[in-house]
Amino acid sequence: MSEKIAQLKELLGEVADLRQVQNVLEWDQNVSMPPGGSEARGQQLATIGRIAHEKATSDQVGKLLDDLKQEGLDPDTDDGALVRVAARDYDKATRVPGAFVAKQAIAITKAFDAWVEAKGKSDFSIFHPHLEKVVELAQEYISFFPPAAHPYDTLLNDYEPGMKTADVQEIFDHLRPKQVELIKKVNSSKQVKDDFLHKKYNEKKVWDFSEAIITKFGYDWSRGRQDKAPHPFQTTFSVNDTRITNRFEADNPLATLFSAMHESGHAMYEQGGNPAYERTPLAGGTSLAVHESQSRMWENMVGRSLPFWEHFFPALKKTFPSQLDGVSVKSFYKAINKVESSFIRVNADEATYNMHVMLRLEMEIGMIEGKFAVKDLPEIWNAKMDEYLGIVPPNDAKGVLQDVHWSSGLMGYFSTYALGNLVSAQLWEKINKDIKDLDEQIRKGKFDVLLNWLREKIHIYGHKYDPQDLVQKVTGSKINSDAYVRYLTNKYGTIYGL
Amino acid sequence: MSEKIAQLKELLGEVADLRQVQNVLEWDQNVSMPPGGSEARGQQLATIGRIAHEKATSDQVGKLLDDLKQEGLDPDTDDGALVRVAARDYDKATRVPGAFVAKQAIAITKAFDAWVEAKGKSDFSIFHPHLEKVVELAQEYISFFPPAAHPYDTLLNDYEPGMKTADVQEIFDHLRPKQVELIKKVNSSKQVKDDFLHKKYNEKKVWDFSEAIITKFGYDWSRGRQDKAPHPFQTTFSVNDTRITNRFEADNPLATLFSAMHESGHAMYEQGGNPAYERTPLAGGTSLAVHESQSRMWENMVGRSLPFWEHFFPALKKTFPSQLDGVSVKSFYKAINKVESSFIRVNADEATYNMHVMLRLEMEIGMIEGKFAVKDLPEIWNAKMDEYLGIVPPNDAKGVLQDVHWSSGLMGYFSTYALGNLVSAQLWEKINKDIKDLDEQIRKGKFDVLLNWLREKIHIYGHKYDPQDLVQKVTGSKINSDAYVRYLTNKYGTIYGL
C-alpha cells in the first residue's frame, strides 16, 4: 500500500468513525432516549456532523486525492475503487457551500414541523410554502454541480450513483402499463380471505417468532440486535455491529415478522461487507436500490413464498393455535400476499407498491422541472392515484402528505424503493439458476447456501462497484423490469388464478 | 456577556458535546452493544477522544482564557467561575504531552488484560510488571506539573480539586482508630439475622420495586432511564438525559434496590444542575467525593434507615410475602445494616467500607512515594486487612487484585469513596437541622423537601465551587470525619446494642 493511500485511509477513517458515531446517536434517539434528551442530542449531532464535514472536505484530503488520481490506479483494485469513490464523495461535499447546508438545515427543521402539523390537520396549505422552499433548495443544490442531461440526475445520484433520470424513466415506462394491467386483473378476481391475520396476537410471541426466523436466515446476533422503535430501520456502527429495529401494531400484528425479515436483509448485507473496507468509503452497501434489493428479497421472495411457509407455518400455528385454527398453509400464503389498492405506500402490497413510487417520482421530476406548481400537487396526486390504482384518497393526510421525505429535504430518493424491487427479481432469477434446489432448501428452513451466494456475489463488494455495474456483473444485464414483471405475473397469476 | 466569554463558551461547548458523546458510546458499550461491536467502538472512542483533546487544548482556547484572566472577573459570578475552572482544565490538559497520553493508553490496555488474567488465576505475578509500569506512568504524569507539597496531590487533584494529600491523611488518621474500634465492638456483639435477604426473589419484581422507590425519591424518568448492565453506574448525556444502570444478583437479590438508590442519588445530582451551565465546564458534579455524598446519602442515610422501611416495608412484604414471612420491619432494618468484615470492597457494609478505602490510599501513597515495592503489595495488603478488619484474604483475587482501578491507570481516585461518606454525614446533620421533621417525612414516603434542599444547596451549583468550598459554604466546616463517626456510632450502637 502506498504511503499516500495509507494517509488517505487514516483521514477518511476518522470521518467514517464520526459517521458511525452519528448512527449510534440516532439509534439511541429512536430506541432509548428519554424525551428530555432531545435538545442536547440535536446539539451533539450537529457538532459531530460539522466536524465530520470539516474533516471530509479538508484540503489535505483534496491534495491526497489529486495526487492519487495522477497515479492512475487500476480501477478494479480496491485501492483504485477507494480513490474513485472517495474523490466523488469529496467533489460532492466540497461543491456544496457550508452556508447552503446551514440554510437548508434551518428550512428543513421548519418544513418538518409544518409537515407534522399539516398531516395532523390534513391541510396541505400549511405545508405548501415549505415544500416550495424545499424544491427551491433542491434546485439551488443542483446548481452547484455541472449541468447533467436532466437536472434531477444530480439528486438521483446522491442515492443511486451512476444512474440517470432517463434510465429510471425508461425502466418505469416499461413497467408501469404491465403493473397497472396486473392490478386491474387482480381487482376483477375473487379476493382472498385474510381475516385471521387481524386477530389478536400476543406481542412477545410474535417478536420471538420474528427473531427465530431471522436467526434461521443467518442474521448474526453476535454482531447485531433487534430493538423496539417507532419505525423499523437498520443501522450500522461497524461491519460487526449492525442493528435492526422493529415495532408491533395490534391491528396488523404479523407485520412484525415481515419487518424483521426486511430489516435483517439490510443488516445481513452490511454484516457481509469486506472487513478490509472498514473505516473507508467502500464500506456499506453500494446504493439504496441494491440495499433494498436485499431487504425485499428476504421479505418477499423468501418470506412471502409458499416453500418458506411450508417450513414455518406449523411452528406459527403451534404458537398461535386459536388465531390460525382451520387455516391451511395455502390460505395463509394467499392472505399474506393479498393485493389491494390502498392509499398508504408503506402498507402497500408487492403488486401495488411500485405504483406509489412511480407516482412520487413523477411528482418530484415535475416539481424540479417546474412543470408542476407545488399548489397543484394534491390534485395531481389524486388524479394519478385514480389512474394507477383506481382509488382517490379521502384527504391529503392519506394522500400527498403521507410521507416524511420531502419535509426532510429528501428529493431523489423514492425511485430507489422500486428499483430495489426490480433488482431483487433480477437477482432471484439468477440465484435460482445457480441454486437449482433453492425452493427445496427453503422448504427445509435452510438458508445458508442462499446467504453465501449473496455474500459472495453482492455483500463482499461493499461500495466497490456502482449499482448498475454490480447488477450487470452479477446478472449479465443492467437494472430492468423484465424479471420483476415475470415474478409478479407468475406469483399473482397463481394466487388469483389469472 | 462579553464577546470573549461567548467565544469561549462556543469552543468549550463543542468539547462538552464530544465528552457527552463519549458517554453515549460507553453507555451503549455497557448496556446494548453486541460482542462484535467492541473493536470498532474502541476506534470510535479513540477518535472522539482525540478530537476532544485537540479542541480542548487549542491555542484559540488558551488565548481567550489568557485574555479573560486579565479581565479579573468576580470569582463569585458564573462567568468568573467558568474562566477559573476552564483555565485549570486547560492548564492540566496542555501540560500532559500527547505522546504520553498515547503511551499510557497502550500500557493501560495491556495492564487491563493482564489484570483480568491475573485475577482469574489469582496470580499477582502476572499483574506485577504492569502495575509497576502504571506506577511509573503516574510518577511521570506528576512530573508534568509544578511540584506540590506531596507528589500524590497531583493525582488526587484530578478527582478532588483543591484537596491535599495531607488533608486526606489527617481526616483518615482521625477516622481510622474510631472506625476500627467500632468494628471490634460490633464483632464481639451478637450478630443480626439476615437469612431472609438471601432467599430466592423474582428479578422483575425486585427491579420494579427499585423503580418504585426512586420514582418516590424524585428521579425524573422523563430525563433518564434505568437499564441492566454488568455493573451499576450513572452517566450523563445532558442535564435532561442522565441515566442509571443496575444489575440483579441471585445470591444478593435486594442489592438491586440499594444500587438503584445509590445511582439515582448520582443521577438526581446531575438532573438538578443549572441548565445555564450546560455545555460548559461548570456542568456536572463538582467532584467525585461530593457526587458520592449524594449517592451514599440516598442509599444509606435514607435507604438504610428505619423510617424509610417503616414506609416501604409493608409494600415489600406484600410483593414478597413468602420470603419475608414473619420478618418485622426492625429485623429487616437490622439485616440490611449487618456489619461483617469481608474481603471485597464493593460488597462491604457501611461500618467497614471506609477501611477498605483507607487501605488502598495507603498503598497508593506508598507506591507513589516509592516506599512500597510493587512486589511486596500482596503481603502489605494482607497485613493491613488483618490490622483493620481482622481477616486475611485466602488469595490475591480476593485481595490486592480485586479492584479494576489500577489496571485502568486510575490512581488518586479511591479516597473519594470514603470522603463521600464523610460529606454525606456532614450534609445529613445540617439537613436534619434545617428540616426538623425529616424522619417523619421519610416515614410518609415524602422526599420532595429533602430533594429540594439538595437541589438548592448542592445540585444547582454544578462545578462552580470546589468541593471543600462547597462543603464549607453549606455546613460551615471543611470535610471532616466527626459527623460520620457520630452517625456510625449512633446507628450501630442502636442496632448492635453497644
* Tens-place pLDDT, residues B206-232: 999 999 999 999 999 999 999 999 889
User: What interhelical angle do B203-217 and B255-271 show, nearest 10?
Assistant: 30
pTM listed for this prediction = 0.95
Q: Is A35 on the interface with B (CB under 8 A)?
A: yes
- Give the residue among B171, B192, B177 at the shortest CA–CA distance from B491: B192
B99 burial level (CB within 10 Å; 0-12, 13-18, 19+): exposed
Measure the CA–CA gap between A263 and A247, rounded to whole angstroms: 12
Average pLDDT, chain A: 96
Which domain-ending residue is among B148, B178, B193? B148
pLDDT at A347: 87
- End-to-end Cα, chain A, rounded Å: 59
Instruction: Specify whether the CB–CB gap between B68 and B4 falls below 8 A.
Output: yes
Report whether pLDDT(A99) > 80.
yes
For chain B, helix (H) and strand (E) counts, in that order, are 20, 3
Measure the CA–CA gap between B228 and B247, rounded to whole angstroms: 5
Q: Is B48 on the interface with A (CB under 8 A)?
A: yes
Q: How far is A234 from chain B (nearest CA, A)?
A: 15
Q: Is B86 on the interface with A (CB under 8 A)?
A: no
Alpha carbons within 13 A on the beta-carbon side of A120: 6
Amino acid at B360: R
Chain A, chain B: beta-carbon pairs less than 8 Å apart: 121
Render pLDDT for B247-290 as a digit per residue (tens, 0 to 9): 999 999 999 999 999 999 999 999 999 999 999 999 999 999 99
Q: Which helix (H) or strand (E) holds A287?
A: none
- Give the residue among B399, B363, B364 at the shortest CA–CA distance from B382: B399
Rounded to two decimals, the ipTM of the complex is: 0.94
Q: How far is B34 from chain A (nearest CA, A)?
A: 5
Name every chain B residue with its beta carbon within 8 A of the beta carbon of A40: 20, 237-241, 278
Render pLDDT for B139-152 as a digit per residue (tens, 0 to 9): 999 999 999 999 99
Q: Are strands B234-238 and A241-246 parallel, antiparallel or unpaired?
A: unpaired
**Do residues B173 and B308 both lie within one domain?**
yes
Measured between CA atoms, the residue of chain A closest to residue B51 is A51
**Do residues A158 and A142 both lie within one domain?**
no
> What are the cell numbers at A263?
430489516
**Do residues B191 and B60 both lie within one domain?**
no
Q: How far is B36 from chain A (nearest CA, A)?
A: 5
**Do residues B111 and B231 both lie within one domain?**
no
Which domain-ending residue is among A97, A120, A146? A146
Instruction: Specify whether the CB–CB gap between B480 and B465 falls below 8 A.
Output: no
B239 burial level (CB within 10 Å; 0-12, 13-18, 19+): buried
Give the number of domains in chain A: 2
**Do residues A351 and A421 both lie within one domain?**
yes
DSSP state of A241: E
For the domain that residue B43 is a member of, what is the CATH number?
1.20.58
**Do residues A364 and A435 both lie within one domain?**
yes
Kindly determine whether residue B40 and residue A223, on different chains, have CB atoms separated by under 8 Å.
no
Render pLDDT for A261-302 as a digit per residue (tens, 0 to 9): 999 999 999 999 999 999 999 999 999 999 999 999 999 999
Name every chain B residue with its beta carbon within 8 A of the beta carbon of A43: 13, 17, 279
Q: Is B326 on the interface with A (CB under 8 A)?
A: no
Kindly determine whether residue B14 and residue A224, on different chains, have CB atoms separated by under 8 Å.
no
Render pLDDT for B306-340 as a digit per residue (tens, 0 to 9): 999 999 999 999 999 999 999 999 999 999 999 99
Q: Is B40 on the interface with A (CB under 8 A)?
A: yes
pLDDT at A1: 62
Closest CB to B44 among A20, A41, A47: A20
pLDDT at B75: 87
Mention every residue, 6+ apart, whose C-beta is less than 8 A from residue A229. Answer: A30, A31, A245, A246, A247
Q: How confident is the model at residue A45 (pLDDT cuts 50, 70, 90)?
A: very high
Report whether pLDDT(B1) > 80.
no
The beta strands (E) that lie in B363-466 are given as none
Measure CA A154 to chain center. Answer: 19
Average pLDDT of A328-339? Answer: 98
Render pLDDT for A347-388 as a digit per residue (tens, 0 to 9): 899 999 999 999 999 999 999 999 999 999 999 999 999 999
pLDDT at A18: 97
pLDDT at B65: 97
Report whether pLDDT(B472) > 70.
yes
Average pLDDT of A37-66? Answer: 95
A238 - beta bridge partners?
A: A241
**Do residues A290 and A406 both lie within one domain?**
yes
Render pLDDT for A484-493 as a digit per residue (tens, 0 to 9): 999 999 999 9
Report whether pLDDT(A109) > 90.
no
Measure the CA–CA gap between A264 and A223, rounded to whole angstroms: 12
Q: Is B43 on the interface with A (CB under 8 A)?
A: yes
Average pLDDT, chain B: 96
**Do residues B435 and B383 both lie within one domain?**
yes
Measured between CA atoms, the residue of chain B closest to residue A48 is B18
pLDDT at A444: 98
pLDDT at A498: 87
Measure the CA–CA gap between B284 and B301, rounded to whole angstroms: 23
Q: How far is A20 from chain B (nearest CA, A)?
A: 8
Measure the CA–CA gap between B315 and A277, rounded to whole angstroms: 56
**Do residues B114 and B221 both lie within one domain?**
no
**In terms of residue numbers, what domain contains A37?**
3-146
**Do residues A130 and A261 both lie within one domain?**
no
Kindly determine whether residue B237 and residue A37, on different chains, have CB atoms separated by under 8 Å.
yes
For the domain that residue A238 is a member of, what is the CATH number?
1.10.1370.30
Q: Is A116 on the interface with B (CB under 8 A)?
A: no
Closest CB to A240 among B25, B40, B225: B40
Mention every residue, 6+ apart, whose C-beta is less than 8 A from residue A235. Answer: A23, A26, A27, A242, A243, A244, A245
**Do residues B173 and B307 both lie within one domain?**
yes
Q: Which of residues 195-254 of A touch B (CB under 8 A)?
A: 220-225, 227, 237-241, 243
Closest CB to B222 among A21, A28, A34: A34
**Do residues A142 and A158 both lie within one domain?**
no
pLDDT at B400: 97
Which domain-ending residue is among B107, B133, B148? B148
Measure the CA–CA gap between A25 and A44, rounded to whole angstroms: 8
- Backbone phi, psi, residue A371, to 5°: -75, -35
